[in-house]
Amino acid sequence: MFRKTLLAATMAAAIFVSTSAMSATVVDFQPTVDYVTGSIVRFNDELFIAKWWVGANTLTPASVDEVANEWDTPWKRYDGEVEGPGPGPGPGPEPGPGDGPYDATRFYEAGTKVIFADQLYIAKWYVNPGQSPADIDPALPWNSPWKLYTGDEGPVEPPLPPPPLDAVFRGLPDLRAEEAHMLSTASMQQIIHSVRTLDNATVEKVVPGAAGNPSNVRRVEGILPESEFEFLFPYRDPAYRYTGFLQAVAKYPAFCGDYDDGRDADAICRTSLATMFAHFGQETGGHDANDTKVPEWRQALVWVREMNLSEGFTGGYGLCDPALWQGFAFPCAKLTEGPDAGKFKNYFGRGAKQLSYNYNYGPFSQSVYGNKHTLLQSPELVADTWLNFASAVFFFVYPQPPKPSMLHVIDGTWVPNEADKADNRLKGFGTTTLIINGGVECGGSKENAQSLNRMRYHGDMANHLKATIPAGEPQGCAGMKEFTEASSAATKLYWVTDYSWVEGAVGGLSYKCQLTAEQTPFSALVEHDYEKCVQHYFPNVTTSPL
């Protein structure tokens, strides 16, 4: 699943929450309090920082050690410097009654003053949630509802909005040519090739042994016939079917696909299967070491839905507030009947990879159906259909910059650079664990218990599937640091506004988007998202001739 990252402040200040200013003051965690991005709290004598906005009565910092994946919790341990409550930031306007820290979840009336980044701001007019003082553009300050408070302001009246800009024509052929040019680099084309999909009508015709099955499916059948599938997963939930697994493989032709550069496709496929199945064992396994009939490495796929959760459950696993970019880009569906009608649906873990959160269901839906809404409306499909395996293959072939995809780690497309090597990120099974759950399982002085499980399962799976484990490849991830922007895998995969000043253009604006490493609602891997980006950030753009 996709690991969430935070969007840099953009012109769309009304939608996205800025994270540019973080307080270094620590407070004791209180479950009934909302915390904005960057809040640092003390919990059980440890410090934690909020990776994104945390609602009251949701996940506590204890979840860091409870969740299967680091992105399943808004908290992470904090090891930076902190300060206790102290005197304020120095001379400046004294906060008046009602002043307090800026809260990204609140509405503000004109004239309200807030403290942000140790400075005092005043609302010039009505402010929606997510419209942060950090988003003030020095070149266009009138576009922000906030301004610095100097203490000599008179009564605040909402000013007239700036006049609308004249319409600008951007033809679709030109927009698509710009998109194609920016995606033409070798590294981007490798990624696009690895995430390509087969149409669903063809996928659903795949059955075991069919002569017309795609070549990657036939390769998997040769390595893993149905009898082997039955042997490896005797305790699986009935929803996990061999036919469904083959259909999931068919959906993503790069998985166990062909190579035209001399790489051994069969060997890569065997290693890919052993790797994927080992992670299944940790994520969905029975973990019964006392079972005398079936060893732990063959106890995978016991769970198709997260333990103790079922359809109709509400609360958690969704960043549904449209003031947050996740809620704007991947709007949560609501229950339409029953006692909880009107509440948001729950995007808890489903499938072999336990896909979680609306911001992961949406991109997976886009990959499978060409739209983000199908699985946001019907998340149960990830448990009840061949998507229970397809979600895992999707996660396997998709990169999460600055992380590479697991496929590119295994097939050698990802080549560690000096920064990767310095942080002990090398080709090998241990790096796939780092990709999945590095924040919890990796980086310590000794191997984490969960990582040890994965290593054992992988060794047994590789032996059974005749997958070679080269000498020297790291199988664990102790001492392995998380991926950073210095990694060779740090590819820019999202679109954001191009802030360039263009002399003579309407408003001096570029009317273009550019690639960014920060996650936004507009993906370079989704066809035509570039033109959506341009029209979003520049509302006066029309694709119809004037």
428 lies in the same domain as 481: yes
Tokens representing 21 are 């200013």
Here the CATH number for the domain that contains residue 347 is: 3.30.20.10
Tokens representing 18 are 């800025």
Measured distance CA(68)–CA(306) in Å, rounded: 10
> What pLDDT is recorded for position 84?
43
Pick from 55-69, 91-105, 121-135: least confident: 91-105
DSSP string, 314-383: -SSS----TTSHHHHHSPPPB--SSTTTTSBP----BTTTTB-SHHHHHHHHHHHHSSSHHHHH-TTHHH
Residue among 315, 362, 318, 322 at smallest CA distance from 343: 315
Query: 520: pLDDT confidence band, cut at 50, 70 and 90?
Result: confident
Measured distance CA(320)–CA(329) in Å, rounded: 10
Residue 530 has pLDDT above 60, yes or no: yes
User: Domain boundary at 17, 47, 77, which?
Assistant: 77
Q: For residue 496, what are the β-bridge partners?
A: 514
Q: What percent of the chain has pLDDT over 70?
A: 86
410 lies in the same domain as 469: yes
DSSP string, 36-104: -TT-EEEETTEEEEESS-B-TTS--GGGGGTSSSGGGSSEEE--S--B-S-S-SSSSPPP-TT-EE--T
- Residue 312 near residue 335, CB atoms below 8 Å: yes
Q: Chain-centre distance of CA 299, in angstroms?
A: 28
Burial of 292 from C-beta contacts in 10 A (0-12 / 13-18 / 19+): exposed
Helix (H) or strand (E) holding 272: helix 265-284
> What pLDDT is recorded for position 161?
59
20 assigned to some structural domain: no
443 assigned to some structural domain: yes
Pick from 21-30, 156-165, 288-297, 392-401: least confident: 21-30
Mean pLDDT within 130-145: 77
39 assigned to some structural domain: yes
Span 242-269, pLDDT tens digits = 999 999 999 999 999 999 999 999 999 9
Domain count, the chain: 5
User: Domain boundary at 354, 371, 395, which?
Assistant: 395
403 lies in the same domain as 473: yes
> What pLDDT is recorded for position 159?
52
Residue 408 has pLDDT above 60, yes or no: yes
The pTM of the full predicted model, rounded to 2 decimals, is 0.73
Mean pLDDT within 80-86: 46
121 lies in the same domain as 180: no
Under DSSP, the state recorded for 261 is S
Residue among 467, 471, 488 at smallest CA distance from 425: 488
Selected residue with higher pLDDT from 466 and 69: 466
Mean pLDDT within 446-450: 96
- Residue 490 near residue 484, CB atoms below 8 Å: yes
124 assigned to some structural domain: yes
Query: 519: pLDDT confidence band, cut at 50, 70 and 90?
Result: confident
CA atoms within 13 A on the CB side of 304: 21
151 lies in the same domain as 180: no
144 assigned to some structural domain: yes
Span 434-444, pLDDT tens digits = 999 999 999 99
Here the CATH number for the domain that contains residue 45 is: 2.10.10
- Residue 256 near residue 272, CB atoms below 8 Å: yes
Pick from 271-280, 381-390, 503-512: least confident: 503-512
Here the CATH number for the domain that contains residue 405 is: 1.10.530.10
Pick from 39-48, 219-228, 388-397, 506-515: least confident: 39-48
Residue among 80, 461, 481 at smallest CA distance from 233: 461
Catalytic residues: 283
Residue among 346, 490, 362 at smallest CA distance from 2: 362
- Residue 246 near residue 443, CB atoms below 8 Å: no
Residue 407 has pLDDT above 50, yes or no: yes
68 lies in the same domain as 123: no
First to last CA, the chain: 43
Span 286-321, pLDDT tens digits = 999 999 999 999 999 999 999 989 898 887 788 888
How many residues are given for the chain? 546
Residue 170 has pLDDT above 50, yes or no: yes
Q: What percent of the chain has pLDDT over 90?
A: 63
275 assigned to some structural domain: no
Measured distance CA(344)–CA(315) in Å, rounded: 7
Q: How many helices (H) and strands (E) does the chain have?
A: 17, 12
The two beta strands, 168-169 and 113-116, are unpaired
446 lies in the same domain as 469: yes
129 assigned to some structural domain: yes
> What pLDDT is recorded for position 37?
67
Residue 55 has pLDDT above 80, yes or no: no
- Residue 543 near residue 530, CB atoms below 8 Å: no
464 assigned to some structural domain: yes
Residue 420 has pLDDT above 50, yes or no: yes
Helix (H) or strand (E) holding 25: none
- Find the domain containing 379 and state its range: 325-395
351: left (phi over 0), alpha (psi -120 to 50) or beta: left
Burial of 43 from C-beta contacts in 10 A (0-12 / 13-18 / 19+): middle
> What pLDDT is recorded for position 124?
78
Pick from 72-86, 97-111, 225-239, 381-395: least confident: 72-86
Secondary structure of residue 293 in the 3-state scheme: coil
User: Domain boundary at 43, 77, 111, which?
Assistant: 77
> What pLDDT is recorded for position 130?
77
- Residue 114 near residue 99, CB atoms below 8 Å: yes
> What pLDDT is recorded for position 91?
40
C-beta neighbour count of 82 within 10 angstroms: 15
Measured distance CA(128)–CA(132) in Å, rounded: 9
pLDDT, mean over the chain: 87
Please state the three-class secondary structure of 187-255 as a single string: HHHHHHHHCCCCCHHHHCCCCCCCCCCCHHHHHHHHHCCHHHHHHHCCCCCCCCCHHHHHHHHHHCCCC
Selected residue with higher pLDDT from 107 and 221: 221
Which residue carries 């003053």 as its tokens?
A: 113
